[in-house]
């Protein structure tokens, strides 16, 4: 029986992350890590133009040579993303020996973590995984969720965060059920039409805020 994967979001800002490989897969790993402000090192003899540009712009450290065990020392994440199973297997061994967490592009079960299909809208990030069994289905779910996560729903996230902060400042705690019950189509309709103040007033009223705070 396969062990369950533990879902988590990592803060990679300033953390050393190593990508071994220089093709399209490695490029995607690099771009995702840069979006998280990681300290990215790419190791490969041949690399894409985008990887070269990132190095020339000072965004990454590019080591244009074959992989060496010392490359993974001090790394939090290591991505084995070459087109050679032998090289990827070696990266996997050395990363484990160095205490790093490793993802093998050609053999996910052998690594420590899978890279999920993600949907990102501002601060809202949804990650989807099938445990590596069906990447196609994970991509299908990502597209479905991307179409559901509309602009007004992202705005709703900001509105709920704002309301939560105001209730915390007032010293009043609400149960999860109260928050769930406060969100309905009227609130979303107000956001769809760009009437944020009405949406907030409706939300606060449903949460039992005083009339003045709810805009009434």
By CB neighbour count within 10 A (0-12 exposed, 13-18 middle, 19+ buried), where does 157 fall?
middle
pLDDT of residue 2: 64
Cα–Cα distance, 190 to 186 (Å, whole number): 6
Q: Widest CA span of the chain, in angstroms?
A: 68
pLDDT of residue 210: 63
pLDDT of residue 132: 73
pLDDT single digits (tens) 114-124: 888 899 888 88
pLDDT of residue 48: 98
Spans of the chain below 70 pLDDT: 1-2, 210-216
Query: What residue spans of the chain are helical by DSSP H?
Result: 24-35, 49-56, 85-97, 135-148, 151-169, 176-182, 185-192, 196-206
């Amino acid at each position: 029986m396969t062990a369950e994967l533990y879902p988590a979001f990592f803060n990679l800002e300033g953390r050393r992350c190593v990508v071994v490989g220089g093709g399209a897969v490695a490029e995607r790993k690099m771009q995702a890590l840069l979006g998280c402000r990681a300290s990215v090192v790419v190791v490969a003899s041949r690399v894409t133009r985008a990887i070269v540009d990132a190095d020339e712009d000072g965004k990454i450290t590019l080591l244009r040579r074959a992989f060496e065990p010392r490359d993974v020392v001090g790394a939090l994440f290591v991505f084995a993303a070459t087109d050679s199973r032998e090289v990827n297997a070696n990266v996997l061994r050395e990363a484990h020996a160095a205490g790093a967490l490793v993802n093998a592009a050609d053999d996910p079960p052998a690594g420590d973590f899978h890279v999920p299909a993600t949907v990102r809208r501002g601060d809202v990030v949804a990650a989807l995984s099938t445990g590596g069994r069906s990447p196609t289905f994970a991509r299908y779910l990502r597209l479905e969720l991307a179409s559901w996560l509309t602009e007004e729903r992202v705005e709703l996230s900001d509105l709920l965060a704002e309301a939560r902060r105001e209730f915390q400042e007032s010293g009043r705690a609400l149960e999860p059920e109260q928050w769930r019950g406060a969100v309905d189509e009227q609130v979303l309709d107000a956001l769809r039409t760009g009437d944020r103040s009405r949406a907030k007033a409706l939300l606060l009223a449903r949460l039992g805020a005083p009339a003045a705070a709810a805009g009434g």
